[in-house]
């Protein structure tokens, strides 16, 4: 699917494509869309809190993040399809080829790029949700908490994909950034969920 398709496709068709054949959209696209939904929830909470002085700015930020996340859903899908085809090619090859191995490694690294940014956006949305939960009208605090929980889930899924795509064990700075984003989002969501429970 092209990046623009994610905005134009019906929800049922998108769900059918996710469950279809192992090609994109997959986990990265789903995590990006989860973050996008979470960001739109934050925007809704902000818009429904007219007494909150910075509500309009928070809504604008949340919508911008949502748009970026949708774009990453498409970018992730394209990168993952390229990596998956390279993986399949490597599995069916009868001999070791250094060029093929290098190309596969490059494609897997490219496939880690979008999830790394998705994890970061998840942390950003969780932070906006926490700010909204602290300042919004009481009626919408549960929605802010739901947004934070969704953002944390998207960040966790994306961080996991970074780890898998990079195939790292140790201190790769990209994995460290992804895991830090995941932890930040999780901590913020846990705090907000506890305060609204």
Q: What is the CATH number of the domain that holds 164?
A: 1.20.120.680
pTM of the model: 0.87
For residue 4, is pLDDT > 70?
A: no
For residue 3, is pLDDT > 60?
A: no
Residue with the bigger pLDDT between 129 and 76: it is: 129
For residue 72, is pLDDT > 60?
A: yes
How confident is the model at residue 11, as a pLDDT? Answer: 80
Q: Which of 9-13, 34-38, 94-98, 107-111 has the highest mean pLDDT?
A: 34-38
What is the per-residue DSSP string for 3-53? TTHHHHS-HHHHHHHHTSSSSSS-HHHHHHHHHHHHHHHHHHHHHT-TTST
- Residue range(s) defining the domain that contains residue 33: 5-196
User: How many separate domains does the chain show?
Assistant: 1
For residues 180 and 143, what is the distance between their CA atoms, to the nearest angstrom? 24
Residue with the bigger pLDDT between 18 and 57: it is: 57
Residues 6+ apart with CB under 8 A from 150: 34, 35, 37, 38, 41, 125
How confident is the model at residue 135, as a pLDDT? Answer: 95
Among candidate residues 144, 79, 129, 145, the one with its CA nearest the CA of residue 108: 79
For residue 54, is pLDDT > 80?
A: yes
Q: What is the pLDDT of residues 134-189, one digit of tens each?
A: 999 999 999 999 999 999 999 999 999 999 888 865 678 999 999 999 999 999 99
């Amino acid at each position: 699917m092209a990046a623009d398709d994610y905005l134009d496709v019906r929800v049922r068709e998108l769900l059918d494509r996710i469950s279809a054949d192992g090609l994109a959209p997959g986990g990265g696209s789903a995590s990006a869309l989860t973050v996008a939904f979470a960001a739109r929830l934050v925007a809704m909470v902000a818009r429904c809190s007219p007494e909150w002085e910075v509500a309009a700015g928070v809504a604008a930020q949340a919508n911008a993040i949502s748009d970026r996340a949708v774009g990453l859903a498409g970018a992730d899908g394209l990168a993952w399809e390229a990596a998956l085809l390279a993986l399949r090619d490597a599995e069916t090859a009868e001999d070791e080829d250094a060029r093929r191995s290098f190309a596969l490694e490059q494609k897997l690294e490219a496939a880690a790029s979008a999830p790394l940014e998705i994890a970061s956006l998840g942390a950003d949305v969780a932070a906006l949700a926490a700010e909204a939960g602290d300042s919004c009208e009481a009626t919408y605090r549960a929605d802010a908490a739901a947004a934070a929980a969704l953002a944390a889930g998207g960040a966790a899924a994306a961080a996991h994909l970074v780890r898998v795509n990079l195939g790292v064990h140790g201190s790769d700075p990209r994995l460290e950034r992804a895991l830090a984003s995941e932890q930040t989002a999780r901590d913020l969501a846990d705090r907000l969920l506890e305060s609204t429970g």
